[in-house]
A = this chain, B = another copy of it.
Amino acid sequence: MEPYLTTLPTLPDIQAAAQRIKPFIHRTPVMTCAGLNEVTGASLFFKCENLQKVGAFKFRGACNAVFSLSTQESQNGVATHSSGNHAAALALAAKLRGIKAYIVMPKNSAEVKKKAVHTYGGEIVYCANNLAAREKTLNEIIAKRGADIIHPYNDYRVITGQATASLEMLEDITNLDIIITPVSGGGLISGTALTVHYLSPKTKVIAAEPAGADDAFRSLQSGTLQSSDHPQTICDGLRAALGTLTFPIVQKYVSQIITVTDELTIKAMRLIWERMKIIVEPSAAITLGALFADKIDARGKRVGLILSGGNVDLDALPW
């Protein structure tokens, strides 16, 4: 059998992924808000992936990867190193498939994150809190268990799954002038950029990135992949750097990267909570924050924003 998706995902790949994961995911709503239209002067359309299972779009990519494995490939389970939404997403996807998920995370990860993985039946393998330890531990699991590694973003199966969010959005809302998504490792922005390129090439794809974790911005400026050293941002989901698969897609298909201060992200987050009555994490609110950064003229335009997730510590809100 051909290996699945070792080249750039095509439109049929994305459409097939949408069919594959359809029984397992929520089709999330696209919400509008008259109050926020007034604040921005644009017509905003919010794709609510904060209402996705496990509270984040990450479930799409994890689900597509897990359910695209053959029965034989799947039998030894899947593995990743992540302490964020991808960990919980992979655990749930594996549970639904009836296979094991090994999640490598640092011993000092937040209790709430360990609990999320446990809740979905994932098996946590602890390691020291540095990249070398994570990778060594992950490699040991692969050697011992034969599990399939599912990277949080640098994997076409995952990118293709994330692409289904914008596929749904373009089915629901036509004639968007702009789509804004957050950028971190680049799974969501790459999937979005590909979908938009295939289906709505006149729509500009813009990435929103924390000013204190601006590796993607620097990578695009310099033309070479930059690392994310000492990221300083409240957006805990946006601290990773672009990968070897996502960087070329971003280079080719993303119009602009807007860096956003945490101050504007927090302002946007509070506005979304107050006006829309939905819970979004800072990494999602940054898309609205980008409109406050005075770097694009969105007035009078139809703007889609992907609200990527809603996993927030309710005991530590940023206001």
Chain A residues within 8 Å of B, Cβ to Cβ: 29, 31, 34, 50-51, 53, 55, 270, 273-274, 276-280, 310, 314-315, 317, 319
Contacts and interface: CB of A to CB of B under 8 A. Distances in A.
23 contacts: A29-B29, A31-B51, A34-B53, A50-B277, A51-B276, A51-B277, A51-B278, A55-B277, A270-B314, A273-B279, A273-B314, A274-B314, A277-B278, A277-B279, A277-B280, A277-B310, A278-B278, A278-B279, A279-B279, A314-B317, A314-B319, A315-B319, A317-B317
Contacts of A29: 29
Q: How many copies does the complex hold?
A: 2
Nearest to A119: B35
Q: Binding site of A, secondary structure by majority: helix, strand, loop or mixed?
A: mixed
A165 to B, nearest CB: 15
Contacts of A317: 314, 317
Nearest to A50: B277
A270 to B, nearest CB: 7
Contacts of A270: 314
A315 B29 CA distance: 28
Nearest to A276: B51
A76 to B, nearest CB: 27
A318 B319 CA distance: 15
